[in-house]
Structure 1
Amino acid sequence: MNINLLIPNLFWSETSQLEIYDGLSIHSLETLLSKGISTANSSFEMETWLCKQFNLEQQHESWPIAPLMLNIDAPSLAKTSKDFWMCADPVHLRIEQNHIMLADSQSFKISPEEAEQLVQDLNRDLGNANFIFSAFHPHRWYIQIPRAPEIQTYPLSQVTCKNINNFLPTGKDSIIWHKIFNEVQMLLHEHPINQARESRGELIINSIWLGGGGNILQSIHSPYTHIWSNDDFSQSLALASSINHLNLPIDVNNWLQTEIPGNHLVVLDSLRSPAKYKNAYEWRETLKNMEHNWFLPLYTAIKNGKVSRLTITTSNEIALNDFVITRSDLWKFWLFNKPLSTHS
């Protein structure tokens, strides 16, 4: 049983805030990282890493997140559509000093009725033969386009909690899409749904984020036999490549005892949101839970020969790190345990 554990934001991005690691009791994790063979590479988002693992290529300088997500949100279209699809996810923008910050749907909720009405009005006022908005999921909207626009975009995850001015579309057709972007904002700003949300003290949906465009992929090869995650994008890759996908096991010890053969990808992304939103308390508490629920059972399973090889992959805004651990690595007595902060 080989396991690749994908953990975005295992290390805190603010390298000057080393005190965030103080008092964390994470002995099993620190042992695994200290004994393993580590490599470091350039940083990129979780979705980019997953696309690379599945040997996908960029389409028009963007990773094809939208057509892949159709496997979950609109399966029939994922098999038959010939059009170009782009994410047009609902977001909240706020002005901070001299820039505009973006918050994604982790910060707010949208009902299916709200999403449907907003998209219906976008199509009524802005839609035409060149593009159509759809809300197959309340938090995931799409634009369907007959031909691919000549623009380079950035995935929503790369822009969350950042200044959007550094990530707006570029390329030959970018002026057209900047215009659409502005028209969407004007329509949403005064929309009755947003007025009602504001009166209830909820964040308004005052923009969309464009990215992840591509055409439907005909075939995808998976390096894994199983994917275990509660993340929708990794599930979409499993569906597209026809491999097993299951939710994260509730009892990791029992799951490891089954010793299911093959190469398993396990996506633990619960550190991602608190890291992006700079919620230090939630990040620390989540990491402590991971130590008890995941790292201790995995350490024991490797030591007992239940897991042949464990690869821990993590990335943040600074770097992407891989740590490969086998049973024999745990006997390297000359490698002392190092604090988590030294591995970041």
Structure 2
Amino acid sequence: MQIHLVVPGLIWPAVSALGPASGLQLTSLAWLLGRGRRSFAPFEPLDAQLARLMGYPADAGALPLAALRRLGEPALPAAAADTDWLCADPVNLSFAREHLLLGEFPADELRPEEVAALVAELNDTFGDLGSFEAATPNRWYLRLKAPTRTRFFPLHDVVGRPIRDFLPEGDDARLWQRTMNELQVVLHNHPVNQAREAAGRRPANSLWFWGAGTLRAAAQPGASMVQTADPLVRGFALAAGTTVGAPDCAKALEGDSLVVLEDLQLPARHLDIDSWRKRLTMLEQDWFAPLAAALRGKRLRALKLTAPGDRGTLTLELRATDAWKFWRKPLSLDTLLKSIAPAAAALPGGTADLAPPHAPGTR
């Protein structure tokens, strides 16, 4: 039995004088990091890594991330397989000096009645584009009447950055840039946003379109079970015909599993160090400690941990036989993060040794 654990956000994205994991009691994670074989590969988008893990073809053009994410939305009814979709997530645009910056909404900031009113207005005003719908207060979709030949940038690539560097590109780019400008006027003037601004709350004054495309066939991934709370990963799994469930360490230990834990992703993206530390402590208790115990007790044959981040991707591999290799000392996450700041030194083959200069070897 083996488990592949994917933890985006584990590698803190910013270089900090004070270690983000400093002082945290992450005993089991340190044991895993010290016992395992570590490598650090150059940056690769998380979406591309997920597609590869899930056996989804990435060589036939842009990934249809909107269609995949919508497929993984448990609250929405199934749609025809040949439907073209766009993610149309509500965002807040604000000026910082001369730049217009994009901010995303957490799941609980927009109220359901506000979302319903805004989506109804969008369908009344922009019905020529297609049909808008909301799966959650911060995950919206546009069912397109016609396919688009435009390149859109994923929302997570744009958060906190000037949007002028991420505007739509391609044959229909001008249409979508004009549409975004018109959307901003409609949303700015809507009573919902006027009331939010009057109350000192951020308005949902724009939408961010991304992930255009139609579902394509996917191959069966290696794991017999996929565990995740992320609708995009759920969509990848469902497109491959794979059993998918919520993250549960005890159930993951019952058979080969691919587990994607997105707990750290948003705090890392927003540099919210307090939330990141709190959630990391919970992962230590709920995942790292049970998995370390399972390896020591030979209930788990192999563990692979992948941590995609802005600085690159950490890969950690352990087998049950590594548990008795006492000469491999624990390696704290704080020490690991400092060892790859500002960048890891590349080795032949595109990976880099993450062991700090005076750490025991991992041969």
Specify if TM > 0.5.
yes
What's the CA shift string for 1:274-331, capped at 9, x where partnerless?
A: 1111111221122122222221111110011111111111022110111111112223
Q: Please, which moves more after superposition, 282-291 or 173-182?
A: 282-291
Alignment of 1:93-172 (within 5 A): 93-106=93-106, 109-128=109-128, 130-172=129-171
Task: Evaluate the alpha carbon distance shift between residue 255 and residue 58 of structure 1 in structure 2; reply closer, same or farther with a 3 A threshold.
Answer: closer
1:227 to partner: Cα distance: 1.6
Aligned residues between the structures: 335
Whether the 8 Å contact between 1:155 and 1:212 is mirrored in structure 2 is yes
1:136 to partner: Cα distance: 4.3
1:268, 1:139 → 2: CA distance? 19
Structure 1: gaps spanning 5 or more residues: none
Whether the 8 Å contact between 1:18 and 1:341 is mirrored in structure 2 is no
More helix by share: 1
Whether the 8 Å contact between 2:55 and 2:218 is mirrored in structure 1 is no
1:192 to partner: Cα distance: 0.6
Alignment of 1:293-332 (within 5 A): 293-332=286-325
1:260 to partner: Cα distance: 1.6
Whether the 8 Å contact between 1:61 and 1:153 is mirrored in structure 2 is no
Structure 2: gaps spanning 5 or more residues: 338-363
Does 2:198 match 1:204? Answer: no
| SS of the residue 1:19 aligns to | coil
In structure 1, the residue matched to 2:78 is 76
Equivalent residue for 1:278, pick from 267, 271, 277: 271
In structure 2, the residue matched to 1:338 is 331
User: TM-score scaled by structure 1?
Assistant: 0.89
1:16 to partner: Cα distance: 3.6
| SS of the residue 2:9 aligns to | coil
Whether the 8 Å contact between 2:70 and 2:231 is mirrored in structure 1 is no
In structure 2, the residue matched to 1:260 is 254
Task: Evaluate the alpha carbon distance shift between residue 284 and residue 138 of structure 1 in structure 2; reply closer, same or farther with a 3 A threshold.
Answer: closer
| SS of the residue 2:203 aligns to | coil
In structure 1, the residue matched to 2:15 is 15
Whether the 8 Å contact between 1:275 and 1:283 is mirrored in structure 2 is yes
1:180 to partner: Cα distance: 0.6
1:61 to partner: Cα distance: 5.0
1:112, 1:285 → 2: CA distance? 28
Give percent identity, aligned residues only: 30
2:274, 2:76 → 1: CA distance? 37
Tell me which amino acid in the other structure corresponds to 2:254. Answer: I
What's the CA shift string for 1:115-159, capped at 9, x where partnerless?
A: 23222222322331x533333443222222244322222211222
1:103 to partner: Cα distance: 1.9
CA RMSD of aligned residues (A): 2.3
Q: Please, which moves more after superposition, 191-200 or 112-121?
A: 112-121
User: TM-score scaled by structure 2?
Assistant: 0.84
1:280, 1:320 → 2: CA distance? 20
Q: Please, which moves more after superposition, 165-174 or 182-191?
A: 165-174
2:237, 2:203 → 1: CA distance? 33
